[in-house]
């Protein structure tokens, strides 16, 4: 089964792929900040109040991160393989579609966390 992608759809996918560079830049900055935060946490490991604050603030986010690493990241690659195999989609287009899935996942998580934080 081959999926025919219209010229308009291809332009849309190309635009998403181009804009993905901004997302990659944001992710890199976020990753660097996260590493710095872990260094700070480790340097304050003997401070029980600091550790309790970190647990209270970050336990949910840590669980989401673990779920992302265990489930979403592998699914990102599986989705690309499936799209390429079943629809004969190009590698770039399959990656773009998988990025859309991951982006939507992150958007939904952000909404849930914002809602949770407003309730606290």
In this predicted structure, the answer to whether residue 1 has a pLDDT above a threshold of 70 is no
Task: Please report, for the chain, the start and end positions of each structural domain, with discontinuous segments joined by +.
Answer: 7-119
CA torsion, ordered 50, 52, 56, 59, to nearest 10 deg: 100
pLDDT of res. 56: 79
Query: Which residue in 69, 95, 90, 70 sits closest to 80, CA to CA?
Result: 95
Question: pTM for the full model?
Answer: 0.73
Distance CA 14, CA 69 (A): 27
Mean pLDDT, the chain, rounded, equals 89
Say which residue the tokens 């890199």 belong to.
28
pLDDT, tens only, 27-69: 899 889 988 988 888 898 899 898 888 887 788 999 999 999 9
- Tell me the mean pLDDT in the region 95-106: 94
């Amino acid at each position: 089964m081959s999926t025919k992608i219209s010229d308009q759809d291809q332009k849309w996918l190309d635009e998403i792929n181009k804009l993905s560079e901004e997302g990659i830049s944001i992710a890199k900055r976020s990753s660097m900040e996260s590493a710095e935060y872990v260094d700070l946490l480790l340097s304050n490991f003997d401070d029980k109040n600091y550790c309790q604050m970190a647990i209270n603030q970050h336990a949910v986010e840590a669980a989401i991160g673990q779920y992302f690493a265990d489930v979403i990241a592998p699914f990102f690659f599986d989705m690309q393989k499936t799209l390429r195999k079943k629809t004969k989609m190009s590698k770039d287009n399959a990656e773009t579609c998988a990025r859309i899935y991951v982006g939507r996942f992150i958007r939904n998580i952000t909404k849930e966390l914002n809602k949770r934080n407003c309730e606290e």
